[in-house]
Each structure stands twice: as C-alpha cells, then as structure tokens.
Amino acid sequence: MHPLKDKVAIITGASSGIGHATARLFAELGAKVVVSARREAELADLVATIKASGGEAIAVAGDVRDEETAAALAHTATDRFGCLDIAFNNAGAIPEMGSTPNISAAGWRDTLDINLTGAFLGAKHQIPAMLARGGGSIIFTSTFVGHTVGFPGMAAYASAKAGLVGLTQVIAAEFGSHKVRANALICGGVDTPMGRMVADTPEALAFVSGLYALKRIAQPEEIANAAAFLASDASSFMTGTATLVDGGVSINRT
C-alpha cells in the first residue's frame, strides 16, 4: 500500500531524529521527498539510503532561519518533481535552557527564530506552491511543553512551539477553502539527539519516562507515523488541529 504515491513532500530537520525517520517513511509510502537540514553529509547519506530502496529524494542543505532556504525548498519541489503536496516543518532546536530570568535575550531570539520563525518562513513559500497544485497538507512539529504542561527551564522553547499552534490555526482558516490543510503534532519526548539533551543521564531518562502513561518516551518512527497520517488523504477532514502524540504525558498523574 502506498498512500503517498506520487505525492511530493518537503521535510525539514531531516538529518536526524524525527525528520530522518519521516523522510524514509514518506519515501517508502511512495512520496518524492525534498529533505533539508544544515548538515550536508548526513543529508547525502539519507538521500543515498532512500534511493537505494527505490525511492526518489533530493537534498537542499540550509538553515530554516534563512528565507532563501525556504524559497529554495519550494522551488526545488516544483522544479524537480512538478508540484508540492506535503510540507513537514519539523526542524527545531533548544539553543538555551534555564529559568526564565536567566535566559539571555539572544538565546530567546535564537530559539524563536529556529522553532517558530523558521516554520513560518517555510509555510510562507509552501502555501503558494500548494495553491498552484490545488491543495496540500502542512504539518508542524510542536510539543506538549507549553501546550499542556509548563516544563521548568524551557520558557523560550515552550513559547516558540506554542506559537506554532496559533500559526497552524490561522493557516487552516485562511486556506481551508483552497484545500490546503494545516495541523500540528503535539509530541511528547522522543529518543533523538535533541531529546537526550533534556534527559541526559539514565536517572533523568527514568524520571522523564515515568511522567508518561506509557512509561516511556517515543521512538522517532512513531512520530513519523503520525506525520504520515496527517500527510495522507486518511486525514482529509482534519485541519487546524493540535494533535497529541505524547504517550499520555499530558493526562497522566500516576
């Protein structure tokens, strides 16, 4: 079964973690993928892996904070593959953590630039390409931090990721009549390099895992599966949502 057959997808933050797993899954499901991140070598390896499995992929290295990168991704999708159907604005980082009074203004701006402004710039260029196509699905990677839980030390990250929910809702309202859907994944902790920054010792991981109803954090492939659902026609009546994929951390009190 190939639910994304002949679809064209952009995936940012694809050099590792959720983006890497999603790029491989989308390709397996039939999509032609345009992958992006700052690390060129890792992107080249990803493209080679996808092609070796019979998929189609091209890499565009760049920083999501630069609008030129967003424009290049949309242009590459339409120039090389003819259209744009799906965009997974997944790139994110936690440049600075600490109690709110101790976060520097530079660290605050950096966090918002990467996690929120980068996603906005992506969508800014993706939407016109989708309108020309006659519709599409835009997906943002958000988090329960700042949405259902206030997690100490993460004011900048929580604010940026919560902002994605507002961006999702506005895009959904603006372009729903043009068959462009927008949804946000509200993720729990994921076993990725960035996730290990928060749970960086066995004791910290055990504590964090205990917060979840499932008593574990996610694997990147589990978030990729949720992204594939939102990318596909199976979610055709879903737009403007903040969809929990959080292992029950938002509701758990045990």
In a domain, 31, yes or no: yes
What integer pLDDT is reported at residue 197 of this predicted model? 72
* 24: CB partners within 8 A, 6+ apart: 46, 49, 50, 53, 224
What integer pLDDT is reported at residue 201 of this predicted model? 87
What integer pLDDT is reported at residue 196 of this predicted model? 73
Range of the domain at 77: 8-190+219-245
Look-up: residue for tokens 């593959």? 81
In a domain, 197, yes or no: no
Rounded Cα gap, residues 206 and 199, in angstroms: 8
Q: Is 157 a catalytic residue?
A: yes
CA nearest neighbour of 142 among 70, 242, 209, 8 = 242
- What is the number of domains present in the chain? 1
Look-up: residue for tokens 């949502």? 241
CA nearest neighbour of 14 among 41, 82, 2, 29 = 41
In a domain, 235, yes or no: yes
> Domain of 79: which CATH number?
3.40.50.720
In a domain, 238, yes or no: yes
In a domain, 201, yes or no: no
In a domain, 206, yes or no: no
Q: For residue 129, what are the CA distances in angstroms to 49, 76, 77, 83, 205?
A: 27, 11, 9, 7, 41
Left if phi > 0, otherwise alpha if psi is -120 to 50, otherwise beta: which for 248? left
What is the arrangement of strands in the sheet containing 56-59, beginning at the earlier edge strand?
A: 56-59, 32-36, 8-12, 86-89, 136-143, 180-187, 242-245
What integer pLDDT is reported at residue 233 of this predicted model? 97
What integer pLDDT is reported at residue 199 of this predicted model? 74
In a domain, 209, yes or no: no
> Environment class of residue 68 by beta-carbon count within 10 Å: exposed (0-12), middle (13-18) or buried (19+)?
exposed
Instruction: Please list the pLDDT of the chain residue by residue as tens digits (254 residues).
Output: 699 999 999 999 999 999 999 999 999 999 999 999 999 999 999 999 999 999 999 999 999 999 999 999 999 999 999 999 999 999 999 999 999 999 999 999 999 999 999 999 999 999 999 999 999 999 999 999 999 999 899 999 999 999 999 999 999 999 999 999 999 999 999 998 877 777 778 888 999 999 999 999 999 999 999 999 999 999 999 999 999 999 999 999 98
Q: Which of 157, 181, 243, 244 is catalytic?
A: 157
In a domain, 200, yes or no: no
